[in-house]
A and B are shown apart, each in its own frame.
Chain A
């Protein structure tokens, strides 16, 4: 594209009073040689905007640099349509508002920011949104329990074609085995009828909702908007093309045969909560072995849950389920004795009322660990436990039955581990390889494995703070208890949320746009394939499995699977991956645009790569709050720390810049990285660069990484200044001036 670039330097918001704007104009016109450069006191106002629009319409300006406020504000005001490239130089939040007015160093900072923007816009090309072939807007729902049925109904109600696939012959899933549901409406004290049949019936109201029962997914290939699904039903295979997928395969109870310490399998009348539902459904609750009517019962909560030997986590619903089951017995016989042994009774929200009801009906709640269960001659059971509330070990009178409240295991936690045989290389601190079990749920034809990446307990991985339904496979959304342990109400809510996300995904893919968190980003990575060395790093490191591989091991990108984070760009040692508005040479030229004073001027320079999602806004907020930090820093926003290509480190240091700071999101188990693995990968890659730095006799301390979240703006000055202090100790970069 032939660019005619114009620079608009705003003098409002205190900028004009703090900076020498004439000098900035010179940077644009003399150094940058732009044909148009204007200043105005209020560019975001009607008069200022009119000037810019006039230049675009009448002077042929097609690329615009606004030197003013942060790109995080007024982005709608300074949007001149897809034909005009727009770049923002931040001289307000990160310069004027954080540094001394009319100061030489502040001025240098503003000028460098303008230089970087000018360098960047030279590399930016107009975006051409990706258009897939034969894209459709059909939602596939895998799993026909409460969550799946609700999700299918929600999608169908909004007018989208929907396909629902259920493994069993009957729809309804877990609810088919329940006698009653925990209360969902006022007064929240009495269990309710299981109403899944009504929902199943409702499915038939939507002609565009197709249901496969007794069916399994044979394979899902393709990408959002273009998934090709093979469905095996009886002996035949049907195919469907769908736009997005909702995984709602739920969870199963923890295997009680592993709970022999609680008497399961040893004593006939120790049963599971699931079994009690079955017994209650048959009428009077009697013992399965001898038919004795149950007059006394003990529920044991966290049976195999919150237990390092079994499930370490809480399954969220078992306490309420046991409370519900206690009402079964009290309904049958108000004089029945009920014990509930628990660790912490978790009856959140309105369920408290059910808990209260069961208490008021006289159930005995015992907090503490079970120390033993014995059987007497009549096959009754005696439970012993530490009662923490009296600090003593207590023993119950004999009860007719013991019910184990077993936790939930997601259906994604089962299946053969394809990597179980491969030896792991020792001594390499590389992020642990993703283990994707062959759970036979989605059977994705993805290079990275057939199912969704999961967290350590087998629940599907997602950024639980910002994007709970999103999985690490774009266009595939997990809902219900396959995502996290949850009750019926939450499952239904999850289903609606996931349906909405699935629809958004199809619509955005159709427009060629990224989905969360870069919605409306029309860029996508392009591969200069002739230079690819088939190293596979992009295919392995993409957190979203966006890149497949052909038979010659060349990467096969799927733009609609891509979240546009640039992790592939950061990974590629050959630097063949670029976006039209974000590339390795583009950032490289921004680095080179920074003026590095000579050593004797004693003006060090620090380059900060700041993650656009949290770190960059945090730095802006430091400015909004009037905090101060040293004026040696130059900040380049990056899509994700994972997009940082190591060549930029070399570029920076060879430019004589004294230190590099990576500011990004928290990683680890409680990661906040918007692209899940980006900041973790950045840290790993950085560990490699330290070796190189040491080899060049450059102190590895010159490169530092810090985690910040968006609320940490108050820590920004300390982070930037302490790094500056460390660099002062190290002295100037010896490559300065080379």
Chain B
């Protein structure tokens, strides 16, 4: 303890006014820090990032939280938040603290291209706006009209990323197979803005969101199916603040209901041992746990096994909160723990239902060279393989 640090009530109030309304509720018990997935890995970020202390610095308006390894470390998995005895909205606090620097123009260098692309192209992947719907070529996907029941909103990742496009096409195939009345507005959509809001760029988020809300309203959208749990979160939790009220569902919820109603079935038997990684934004944040499990288990021949950390206790893939764009050395990636966990359960297929999770888990599986024993699949892909009898 060298120099005396001066409490700044002005700074504290500034953070609070940016959305950290529950910052002062924190009693510093430290449960958050102990539940944080960063405790499960070694390395520099793990050593520097302590979510309890970060909140403390915010409470006193003290300097020290702006350092990149601290301010941008949180993956917003929500493990701490759902367990907080004081019900502190920890993720809002993180977002607000990020906003104090990002709002002033100090985005970390590796995130600048992301924000730039969002500004220019409406997606974080530097994809040209005109090519947003290119993946749909030849798929015969109807455009959304006033007579369409559902808008299918496809995550930017699955619009541009080659691997991820498979997710979009699989979901389209499943919806068609079940006879769902859906259409797309892909070419005119923006990124949902979920991740950039978590990164603290409130202004950019509002711009993206407002564009989408205006579009949806103009086209008469009432119900939305999302391919990504992150878009689900944005539409359900963020958009209502800006006047965008829609009935939003993740594709897994829609499909599970259709299976129950007998409108969708999987005749092809698959001899696989499958386990499921709960995406944080589908599970903890939106409390959707059963539909994916019901879908997987409706495939004949599939043996389903749970991971040790599942449902509300699921371990993050490390792709949330803007961490999808972070460089993390091997050995410090949460995804590796998921792969190891699935291999320990002797599963041959690790299924998840989020384009971010797929990127992170594919990466980890390749890094650990476990591709020969474990296949990482998006749920829609698994379901498609069971759609037709061979």
Given that A389-B53, A390-B53 are known contacts, is A397 also in contact with B9, CB under 8 Å in the complex? yes
- Is A365 close to B, CB under 8 A? yes
Are A393 and B5 in touch, CB under 8 angstroms? yes
Q: CB-CB < 8 A to B59: which residues of A?
A: 364
B1-21 vs A, Cβ < 8 Å mask (1 yes, 0 no) = 101111111001000100000
A390: nearest residue on chain B (CB-CB)?
Answer: B56
Q: Which residues of A contact B52 (CB under 8 A)?
A: 389
Q: In the assembly, what is the distance between CA of A366 and CA of B22, in Å?
A: 17
Q: Is A392 a contact of B28 with CB atoms below 8 Å?
A: no
* A395-B27 in contact (CB<8A): no
Interface size on B (CB < 8 Å)? Answer: 25
Judge whether A21 is part of the interface by a CB distance below 8 angstroms.
Answer: no
Cβ of B310 under 8 Å from chain A: no
Shortest C-beta distance, A281 to chain B (Å), equals 28
Most buried by B among A363, A386, A387, A397: A387
B263 within 8 A of A: no
Chain B nearest Cβ from A100, distance in angstroms: 52
- Give the distance in Å from the alpha carbon of A363 to the alpha carbon of B56 in the complex: 13
CB <8 Å contact, B4 and A384: yes
Whether a CB of chain A sits under 8 angstroms from the CB of B24 is: yes
Distance from A257 Cβ to chain B, minimum over Cβ atoms (Å): 28
CB-CB under 8 A from A363, the residues of chain B are 24
Interfacial residues of chain B within 51-69, with CB under 8 A of chain A in the complex:
52-53, 56-57, 59-60, 62, 64
In chain A, positions 373-421 with a C-beta closer than 8 Å to chain B are: 384, 386-387, 389-397
For residue B23, give the distance in angstroms from its CB to the closest CB of chain A.
9
Contact of B1 (CB < 8 Å), options: A345, A362, A392: A392
Asked if residues A395 and B7 are in contact (CB atoms below 8 Å), the reply is: yes
Whether B4 and A393, one on each chain, are in contact in the complex, defined by CB atoms closer than 8 angstroms, is yes
Rounded to whole angstroms, the CA-CA distance of A392 and B52 in the bound complex is: 15
Tell me the bound Cα distance from A83 to B49 in angstroms.
81
Let me know if B7 and A389 touch, CB within 8 A: no
Chain A residue total in the interface (Cβ 8 A): 25
Closest-CB distance, A412 to chain B (whole angstroms): 36
A185 within 8 A of partner (CB): no
Residue of B nearest to A361 (CB): B24
Taking a contact as CB atoms under 8 Å apart, the answer to whether B24 and A337 are in contact is no
Known interface pairs A364-B59, A389-B56; A394-B7 also in contact (CB < 8 Å): yes
Count: A-B pairs, CB below 8 Å: 65
Q: Mark A230-262, 1 if CB is under 8 A from B, else 0.
A: 000000000000000000000000000000000
Q: Are B25 and A359 in contact (CB under 8 A)?
A: yes
B60 touches A390 (CB 8 A): yes
Q: Is the CB of A360 within 8 A of B60?
A: no
Interface string of B224-267 (1 = CB under 8 A from A): 00000000000000000000000000000000000000000000
- Of the candidates A356, A365, A395, the one whose C-beta lies within 8 Å of that of B5 is A395
- Cα of A396 to Cα of B3 in the assembled complex, Å: 14
Contact: B27 with A365, CB < 8 Å? yes
B6 touches A364 (CB 8 A): no
CA A394 to CA B2, docked complex, whole Å: 11
Q: Is the CB of B28 within 8 A of A367?
A: yes
The residues of A that contact B24 with a CB separation of less than 8 Å are: 359-364
- Given A337-B9, A356-B86, A389-B53: A394 and B4 within 8 A (CB)? yes
Set of chain A residues within 8 Å of B22, measured between Cβ atoms: 360
Q: Which residues of B contact A390 (CB under 8 A)?
A: 5, 53, 56-57, 60, 62, 64
The CA-CA distance from A387 to B4 in the complex, in Å, is 10
Instruction: Tell me whether A392 and B5 are in contact (CB under 8 A).
Output: yes
CB contacts under 8 Å to A, within B34-57, are 52-53, 56-57
A431 to chain B, nearest CB (A): 44
B84 to chain A, nearest CB (A): 12
A364 touching B5, Cβ below 8 Å = no
User: Which A residues are CB-close (under 8 A) to B26?
Assistant: 359
Given A364-B59, A392-B1, A394-B60, A356 contacting B6 (CB threshold 8 A): no
Contact in complex: B7, A393 (CB < 8 Å): no
A395 adjacent to B25 (CB under 8 Å): no
> A524 to nearest B CB, angstroms?
56
Contact between B25 and A360, CB atoms less than 8 A apart = yes
CB neighbors of B among A334-374 (8 A): 337, 345, 355-356, 359-367
Contact at A391–B25, with CB atoms within 8 Å?
no
**Chain B residues whose CB sits within 8 angstroms of the CB of A395 once the complex forms:** 4-7
The closest CB in chain A to the CB of B56 belongs to A389
Q: Which residues of B contact A384 (CB under 8 A)?
A: 4
- Chain A residue numbers with a CB within 8 Å of B86 are 356, 359
Asked if A389 meets B28 with Cβ closer than 8 Å, knowing A364-B59, A364-B60, the reply is: yes
Contact indicator B6/A387 (Cβ below 8 Å)? no
Q: Which residue of B lies closest to A363 (CB)?
A: B24
Interface residue ranges of B165-179 to A (CB < 8 Å) = none
Question: A residues within 8 A CB of B4?
Answer: 384, 392-395
Return A712 CB to nearest CB of chain B, in Å: 36
Q: Which residues of B contact A360 (CB under 8 A)?
A: 22, 24-25
Interface centre among B3, B7, B16, B57 (most CB of A within 10 A): B7
Distance A484 CA – B53 CA, assembled complex (angstroms): 37
Q: Which residues of A contact B7 (CB under 8 A)?
A: 364, 394-397
Q: How far is the CA of A359 from the CA of B53 in the complex (A)?
A: 17
| A392-B5, A394-B4, A395-B7 known; A359 vs B60 contact (CB < 8 Å) | no
Rounded to whole angstroms, the CA-CA distance of A395 and B1 in the bound complex is 13
A392 to B56, CA, bound (A): 11
Complex interface: chain A residues within 8 A of B28 (CB)? 365, 367, 389
Q: How far is the CB of A498 from chain B (nearest CB, A)?
A: 36
A460 to B90, CA, bound (A): 48
- List 19 additional contacts besides A360-B24, A364-B12; criterion CB under 8 Å: A356-B25, A359-B24, A359-B27, A359-B86, A360-B22, A366-B60, A389-B28, A390-B53, A390-B64, A392-B4, A393-B1, A393-B5, A394-B5, A394-B7, A394-B62, A395-B6, A395-B7, A397-B6, A397-B7
11 pairs, CB–CB < 8 Å, chain A vs chain B: A345-B27, A361-B24, A367-B28, A386-B1, A387-B56, A389-B52, A389-B56, A390-B62, A393-B3, A394-B62, A395-B7
Which 10 pairs, one residue from A and one from B, show the smallest C-beta to C-beta distance? A389-B56, A362-B24, A393-B4, A395-B4, A389-B28, A394-B5, A392-B5, A393-B1, A396-B7, A395-B6
